[in-house]
Structure 1
């Protein structure tokens, strides 16, 4: 399929395809005009296909890579069912400005390559439900027209890059079920996202979460009083549903020793 230079839409979702997409390519410029890549809900393994991210010319400055003939022929609506924050939604868009990469629900591992930030005409990016690790690359902030970003249900760590606050068109954000830490960046756009965008990241803090941050380092503040025994440990020994009282540290006061006067 890499030998199809005019291919614009490739949808292989919900099959049983497997294999490694990061193997050596036979083409110098694979998929130069591809605008839609959806291989979600398969069994692909290995690292994300960085070789494609570097060559998706139609997702880099799309208008500059289109000819007049392309515009006339492809000025039609494309209808696709895409997954936005866990919900399948029917999307109708003009193909001339519609770009999406959906690699969700596979078995991809490794890190998210910085080169994906070069796709500055990309509008929908879904890498959720894989085994991706490492930090969220700050280069994602370069995708200025990005409307939906879903990195949920991976093993990502580190903080949320402040560069993402420059994504003024971002309408959907899902970073839930990772291991992200620190304060959630604040901006006009980020103020529109609710708790479900961050749920499952136990070390995140700041608005819209109820967890407050330490002013010095932006980390989550620990509660003043901790339970002597974690709940899971108590339930392990005594069974689920066991009711126990939270132990509090009590300050002991020294009693004055009575003195006897000698007569």
Structure 2
């Protein structure tokens, strides 16, 4: 059975027959999703069926005509997400575990996906030796980035602030014990520092420039924040000098020309954006 599906592409089993590409993904709930693409015609078919081999009752299927292969994969992803959320349909066999839990070892690898449309590829190595790779759309990655930012703010920021206060107290004690001449030290009480974290940057854009989260995309590692759509982009370009001063020194803005539109990309200082 495995010989009939000799390749694997983004977690899908693949078998080729001439210009026909047959894809299959068997799920833990005993549902099988099959996707058939005919190169050169713009035609395909996506089905979710009962039984592990995909020969049972059809649960749902997609249309057959697509403008391109990207639209075909969009339909395949929608069918797959629907099928993955169904309960087990096999009354005689216990399904494989639907949840995997474990402690992450080391760093999480975050790379761009390879499917041909915007996505993030996250790889987790667990302490039990398993490696888990997740493929996420740009919207899912953006939601995850926001969720982690909120989690960081509510869970870990208070602990960091306590650590910083302890360090400040230690520095103050050392300063009091020293005989440093403070004459000529400039008054920095009026100095305003720009945003540090991605969350700080999102807050500044909303409060000062009226740019909301609906206008934003973020790299999964928060190395860049991208403003898309009008009138947000046009407004930031017109106020370019003000924006540059407001986000410095941690961030700097560039304008990226994309097919049919323009983006304002806010990059962390020292990093480059491939669209520059």
Relative to the length of structure 2, the TM-score reads 0.26
Greater relative CO (CA pairs within 8 A, separation 6+): 1
Normalised by the length of structure 1, the TM-score is 0.27
More helix by share: 2
- As a proportion of its length, which structure holds more strand? 2
